[in-house]
Chain A
Amino acid sequence: MQAGGIKLTLGVYIALFLTFLYAPLMVLAILSFQIGPEGGPQFPIIEWSTYWYQHLFGLTPPSRIAPLPIKEALFRSLTLAVMTMIVSTVLGVSSAQAFRKRFKGQNFVFYLIVLGMMVPGVLVGLGMALVSNELSVARHWWGTAFVLHVVYTFPFAFLVMLAIFNRFDQSVEEAAWSLGVSPAKTFRKVTFPLIFPGVLSAMLFAFTLSYDEFSRTLFASGRDLTLPLAIYGTFSVEVHPNVFAFGVLTTLFSFALLSVYAILMTLSMRRAKRIAIQEDA
Chain B
Amino acid sequence: MSVSATTSETETMTEPVRKSSSKSVWLITPGVIWMLLFLVAPMLMMVYVSFWTQTTFAITPDLTTKSWVTFFTSETYLNSLWTTIRIWLIVLAATLVVGYPAALFVGLFVKNRTIQTALLVLCVIPFWTSFLIRVLAWRPMLGKEGAINLILMKLHIIQQPIEVLLFSELSVIIGMTQIYCVFMVGPIAFMMGRVDQSIIEAAQDLGAGFWRIFRTIILPLTMPGVVVGAIFVSVMVLGEFATAAALSGRKVNLLGNIIVTQVGSLKWAFAAVVGVVLTIVMGVVVAGLLRVVDLKKEL
A residues at B contact (CB < 8 Å): 1-3, 6-7, 10-11, 13-14, 17-18, 20-25, 27-28, 31, 41-43, 91-92, 94-95, 97-104, 106-107, 109-110, 112-116, 118-124, 126-131, 133-134, 147-148, 150-151, 154, 158-159, 162-163, 166, 208, 212, 214-215, 218-219, 228, 231-232, 234-236, 239, 243-244, 246-247, 250-251, 254-255, 257-258
Contact = CB atoms under 8 A, between A and B. Distances in A.
B136 interface: yes
B128 A133 contact: no
Interface string B72-97: 00000000000000000000000000
Contacts of B139: 41, 239
B137 interface: yes
Contact of A98 (B24, B38, B126, B128): B24
A215 B239 contact: yes
A18 B105 CA distance: 13
Contacts, number: 272
Contact of A154 (B5, B31, B235): B31
B130 A212 contact: yes
B18 A101 contact: yes
A123 B4 contact: no
Q: Is the interface of A mostly helix, strand, loop or mixed?
A: helix
A118 B282 CA distance: 10
Q: Is the interface of B mostly helix, strand, loop or mixed?
A: helix
Please indicate which of the listed interface residues A102, A219, A232 has the most CB atoms of chain B within 10 Å of its own CB.
A102
Contacts of A106: 13
Given A2-B210, A103-B24, A122 B245 contact: no
A166 B6 CA distance: 12
A204 B144 CA distance: 39
B256 interface: yes
7 contacts: A1-B200, A11-B109, A97-B24, A130-B46, A232-B242, A247-B136, A250-B130
Contact of B256 (A21, A122, A239): A122
Interface string B41-74: 1111110010000000000000000000000000
Contact of A130 (B9, B32, B272, B278): B272
B112 interface: no
Contact of B35 (A112, A162, A231, A236): A112
Given A28-B136, A42-B145, A159-B1, A10 B34 contact: no
